[in-house]
Structure 1
Amino acid sequence: MAIDRQSGGSPVIRFIKSLYLTNLLFITLALCVIGLFACFIFDEYFYLMQLVLGVFCVFILLDIFTVFRQKKGIIGSRNCPDRLSNGDQNTISFSITNRYPFKVRIKIVEEVPFQFQKRDLIFRTSLGVDKVEVFYYDLRPTRRGVYQFGALNVYVSGLFGFVSRRYIFDNHKDVAVYPSFIEMHKYELLAASHRLTDYGVKRIRRIGHATEFDHIKHYTLGDDPRTINYKATARMNQLMVNTYQEEKSQPVYCLIDKGRTMKMPFNGLTLLDYAINSTLMVCSTALNKGDKAGLITFSKGIDEILPADKHRRQRNKILETLYAQQTDFKEADYERLYVTVRRKLTQRSLIILYTNFETVNSMRRQLKYLSSMAKDHLILVAFFLNSEFNEVLDTPPSNLEETFRKGMAEKLSYDKLLIVKELNRYGIYTILSKPENLTIDSINKYLEFKSRGLI
């Protein structure tokens, strides 16, 4: 419910605070002053200018009377969700209702949270008697946390436009910015309508057969003859076949490195935020597939451990856990991570590690821990391709500095490929992805593992 903040204080103070003089008033006043000066030369027009000045003052008083005679001539309210989705366009709306007995011109100044650094969110319109108009705008947050909306300021001009009255609707509201749940809902809707290819998910043909028995059904043309159930066929006196489904309840853990290598920003979001958004989507996909989803976040120590589960409340637990992640971007301790995985993950699991390796040497420092985990689990290391290198590599150098930059970009890009090759040598699967493609690449890799029967 919108509240007019100017309802408090004495009437005189409220009047002074809400009265604003428009540019039209100052322009007209300046013309009157010029006319009065001109009367020193053309004195026969002096009385005419006095009349014009008097009419001008009357118009100002009429303007003040028309906009202030009603206590609540304008009603405004903002419609804002309790949660915003990080990295996505979130639609905010507000409505303005005109209670004046005449058409008004209004200007709306919206106070959005300071994190967006928007000082020019201004709307202008004319509103008829008893008319309601709804305005929309989009905000794209790039950091998780609490954001506070300010007031909704509405300036109403009088009949002649010389003065305006300000209404302040106090909608101070705290909203929480969560990981990208809009993309998660979009994925679920496309999955329900069998349109995941529109999202970028590949159709992957299952290799071999599912091994978990589902039920027995009548044979239909195209069924695999190897699945014929001879006992059921003899009993029913017609061909019966076994049907199988994908193995479910497989543990899928997402491990998020919150160390300093994840601080690098791309398109307003840090690599950590991209990893968090991707984790939410992968865990949601795993739960939809009947698998158990879990989460471990680490930096200098182990920060969060959410055991894998497939309960319907698990998705919300993962969302809340990801929302609360904070870090000071210190050096990540992979030795402690290995000890934790060895103690806590007693069942063979798919482990998706979100991290970033810029050089081969930085990867080799952690390789012994990753290879040790790969002996007991299926390890998938997801790290980032620096998309800004492509611009440098595609631009011909024009001086010595640009030549040096291009050489460094080529070396670092080549190092990424060497990292992939060396991890694969130790039986560790990899995703080398641009930040904006990380979610889709991770989902496709998970579905590929399911189709190959690796999990």
Structure 2
Amino acid sequence: MKSLRPLFVSTRLWLALIAFVLLFVAAYALPFLFPLVQVAFVVLVILIGVDGWLLFRTKAGVFARRELPDRLSNGDQNPLAIYLENRYVFRADVEVIDEIPFQFQRRDVLFRTQLSPRETRAIAYELRPTRRGEYNFGAINVFVLTPLGLLKRRYQFEQGKTVAVYPSFLQMRQYELLAATNRLTEVGVKRIRRIGQSTEFEQVRPYTTGDDIRTINWKATARRTVMTDRDPRGASLMINAYQDERSQPVYCLIDKGRVMQSPFDGLTLLDYAINASLVLSNIALIKQDRAGILTFSDHIGQLLPADRRTGHMLKILELLYRQKTRFLETDYESLYASVRTHIRQRSLLLLFTNFETVSAMHRQLPYLRRLAKDHLLLVIFFENTELRSLLDQPAADTEQIYLKTIGEKFTFEKKQIVKELSQYGIQTILTAPQNLTANTINKYLELKARGMI
């Protein structure tokens, strides 16, 4: 019986058996059909035998393996691939079912293809995880059919593989590449006009869109033009690049309280904050600043002091990977005490949290003012995008008018929070979750360009 476990009946054979049942029934009414149906049934049995022999005569007729990254990026489309090899001597119809982790809640990872003899093919697809942690992949189930298509033989490969889902390192690499090539504007990061700059010369480089025209080096431009006069396409303006102020401490303070558990597009606000913190920390290191992390909820979580030594980015990634939401009220008094004790140098503090009402902000305002007194504090909280979509729809009845009125009240309170924090000299960002990373980097570059850190 164990040898028959890989054997399955195809849809074509089931349809043929149903057809023969109907023919045998019809033969009782028309006896002359009975010998013909018997002969046809014997032929079907012979074909089933031949089909089974073709499938099982080769011990390993198909080979498959899953091309899986060492870790997956949370909130991003991660590329995966299944490689198939047909070792049969005939063209095989193949059905592939990949047993992906239950966290994806998908049962449609089914692929159908045809493989010629000795042909190799790759099936590419993508998965988007929305939770950090360990994901367990099951087996790759490969069902093979011969050209007759009556029986199926199942092969199973790579059972029980575990992969960790980390914060969005794919997004981090994308921003890192764009920052290195001066193309951050492609993802919504604005060019910030520098108000004053360090006089320490760094290099002469080609002009790119958004550079200050006052830094054009006309002598270098003239020399480059002379060198490329035979090929005018190679000519370009050259500018003087100056070093930014370096080694400024930049801390991401991440609230893990219940206010950060709200979902948006499959991810929680905490996951958006973690992904943005990872990207911003990497940009800060590229800008030669020092990046640190502090997590907190009803008590202080983990503190990673600001640094920029080799391997520090890996420490940040591992720290953010382990963070989980706590369903308790956030203790800002403990946050202030911890910052006062462990962060002595004036730093840029990016506080990722969420305030739904003005009264909720007022309860924490004394601690925010104390933090802003010793450091440059940037409070980052979130718009309710579902509420915005409700307000954009016209009201059709009294109930919808009532709901829109309440929605307008909450939207107004968010704007009032921004205004009140600004009155105390506290920088703020009110952003939709999907725009969090770009808006945070924009603000960081703006504060750095203005010399506030």
Any idea what SS the aligned residue of 2:416 has?
A: helix
Once residues 23 and 287 of structure 2 are traced to their aligned partners in structure 1, the CA distance between those partners, rounded to angstroms, is: 81
Pairing of 1:6-405 with structure 2 (within 5 A)? 12-13=1-2, 15-210=3-198, 213=200, 245-405=243-403
- Give the residue type in structure 2 aligned to 1:69: R
CA deviation after TM superposition for structure 1 residue 170, in Å: 2.7
With normalisation by structure 1, the TM-score equals: 0.90
Q: Give me the TM-score of the superposition, normalised by structure 2.
A: 0.90
Asked whether the 8 Å contact 2:298–2:330 carries over to 1, the reply is: yes
The number of residue pairs the alignment matches comes to 422
Partner of 2:421: 423
Residue segments in structure 2 that go unaligned for 5+ positions in a row: 205-212, 217-239
Secondary structure of the residue that 2:374 maps to in structure 1? coil
User: Which deviates more from structure 2 when the two are superposed, residues 109-118 or residues 398-407?
Assistant: 398-407
Q: CA distance change for structure 1 residues 379 and 208 in 2, over 3 Å: closer, same or farther?
A: same
Q: Which AA in structure 1 matches 2:161?
A: K
Name the residue aligned to 1:7.
none
Structure 1: 5+ residue stretches without partners: 1-11, 225-241
Which secondary structure does the structure 1 equivalent of 2:340 belong to? helix
Give the residue type in structure 1 aligned to 2:328.
K
Please, which moves more after superposition, 55-64 or 391-400?
A: 391-400
Partners in 2 of 1:262 and 1:76 — Cα distance?
Answer: 42
Aligned partner letter, 1:71:
K
Percent identity (aligned): 50
Contact 1:76–1:96 (Cα < 8 Å) also in 2: yes
User: For the residues of structure 2 that align with 1:142 and 1:223, how far apart are their CA atoms?
Assistant: 45
2:412 corresponds to which residue?
Answer: 414
Q: Is the 8 A contact 1:254 1:351 kept in 2?
A: yes
Q: Which residue identity is paired with 1:132?
A: T
> In the TM superposition, what whole-angstrom CA distance separates every residue of 1:54-93 from its partner, at most 9, and x where no partner exists?
1010000001000011100000000101111111100110
Aligned equivalents of 1:142 and 1:445: distance in 2? 26
Once superposed, which parts of structure 1, at least 4 consecutive aligned residues long, lie more than 3 Å away? 213-217, 221-224
* SS of equivalent to 2:59: coil
Q: 1:17 to 1:328 in 2, by over 3 A?
A: same
The amino acid of 2:150's aligned partner reads F
Instruction: Determine helix, strand or coil for the equivalent of 1:147.
Output: strand
Q: Shift in Å at residue 389 of structure 1?
A: 1.5
Which shows bigger deviation, 445-454 or 168-177? 168-177
Measure the CA separation in 1 of the matches of 2:313 and 2:202: 29
Q: For the Cα contact (< 8 Å) 2:276–2:437, is it kept in 1?
A: yes
